[in-house]
A = this chain, B = another copy of it.
Amino acid sequence: MKELKLMKGNEALAEASIRAGADAYFGYPITPQSEVIEYLMFKQPEKITGMVVLQAESEVSAINMVYGAAACGKRVLTTSSSPGISLMQEAISYIAGAELPCVLANVVRGGPGLGTIQPSQSDYFQSVKGGGHGDYKLITLAPATVQESVDYVKLGFELAFKYRNPVMILTDGIIGQMMEKVELFEQQPRITEQFDWATKGKVRGKDHVIVTSLMLQSEEQEKVNLRLQAKYREVEKNEIRYVTYNCDEEIDYLMVAFGSCARISQKAMELARAKGIKVGLFRPQTLYPYPYEAINKLASKVKGILTVEMNAGQMVEDVKLAVNGKTKVEFYGRFGGMIPAPDEILNALETKLIGG
C-alpha cells in the first residue's frame, strides 16, 4: 500500500531500503547521514522483513560486509558521507571488479579532509570518474527530492541486479536533512532467487562458485575489463535519465545542475524568467551514465550554458565534453558547505553568460 508521509531524506531512504526488500544494511555513523542507521535500528526490520542491520566498526569494515553479503546474491546497502566514502574506495573497486550488485549512498558534505558537515556536491568526480583504482564505473543516481531518495533506492537495486554493478546514490546534506512529502512504495518481498553467480553453498552437480576480482594472467584480466566495458556501454545505452525544465521552448540560455543544486537553480530560473530571460534548466538524474547527447543537442540552440554546482567545478567538465565546443560553457559554484542562493545564480547567469 502506498503511503504519503512527511519525512526527512535520510529517514525516507532508510524506510525505502526496508520496503525495497533489502536483506542487509551495514554502516558506520557519520554526519549528515547517521539518521539512516538510527532509523533502521529503531525500526528493527529484522522483526518485520528479516532485514539485518549492523553497525560496523568502520566504513572499511562496513563496505567489506556489503561485499560479502552482496556476493551471496542478497540486496545489501550502506550509506556514509564523504570521508567515510573515501575509505571505501578500495572495496568499491573490488565490488565493481567482482561484479556484485549493491546500493551505496553518499550524503555529501564539504571537503576536502574533515571539512564541514554542511552540504556539498564535491564528490562528483569521485563517484563518476573513479575514486578507486582501475577502470570501473559506478552507476550514479542524483536525487533532487526526498521522493527521489526513496525511488532511487528501489531503482538502485533494480539497476544493481540488472547489471551486477554497484549503484551510488549521490546526495547531500540538504536532501538528507530536509523534510518533504513523500509517497512510499509498497513493501517488496525479499529476494528468493538463487543466483548462479552467488555463493550460497556449492550446489550438487554444479561447479563451485568463486567470487573474485583477481586474475593472475593479464590476458584474463583484460577479458574481465572488456566484459566490464561492454557492460558499461550497455548501461550508457539504456539507463540515461534526466529532466528538463522549459527546454522544449525557444531558449537563449541553459543551466545545467544536479541534485539539490538543481532545485535552487530552478528557483533562479523562475526569477530569471520573471525578468524575461529565456532560460531553461537541464537536470541529469543519472550522473553516470551521463546525458552527453541530450546536452549536446540543446547546446546547438542556446547562446551559452551555465553549469551550477556546489563544488569548485566538476560536472562542468562533463558538460564541456557534451558540448564539444558548440557553445560557451560557464560555471558558477559555491563550496565548502556553502549553498548558493537563487539570486546569486541569477546574477551569475546575467554576468557570466548574458553580459559576458
* Interface, chain A (partner B; CB < 8 A): 60, 82-87, 89-90, 93-98, 108, 110-116, 118, 120, 122-123, 125-126, 129-136, 212-225, 228-229, 311-312, 314, 317, 320-321, 324-326, 334-339
Contacts and interface: CB of A to CB of B under 8 A. Distances in A.
B131 A131 contact: yes
B112 A213 contact: yes
A298 to B, nearest CB: 16
B324 A320 contact: yes
Give 4 nearest A-B pairs by CB, closest first: A111-B134, A113-B213, A97-B113, A325-B325
A115 B213 contact: yes
Nearest to A313: B135
A326 B285 CA distance: 30
Contacts of A134: 82, 110-113, 115, 120, 122-123
Contacts of A324: 320, 324-325
A312 B221 CA distance: 13
Q: Determine how many copies of this chain the complex contains.
A: 2
A309 B89 CA distance: 23
Contacts of A219: 338
Contacts of A84: 90
A97 B111 contact: yes
Contacts of A335: 135, 221-222, 225
Given A320-B321, A324-B324, A97 B114 contact: yes
Contacts of A126: 89, 129-133
Nearest to A87: B90
Contacts of A317: 317, 321
Contacts of A125: 125, 129-130
Given A317-B317, A338-B218, A113 B135 contact: no
A125 B318 CA distance: 13
B132 A129 contact: no
Nearest to A133: B82
A58 to B, nearest CB: 10
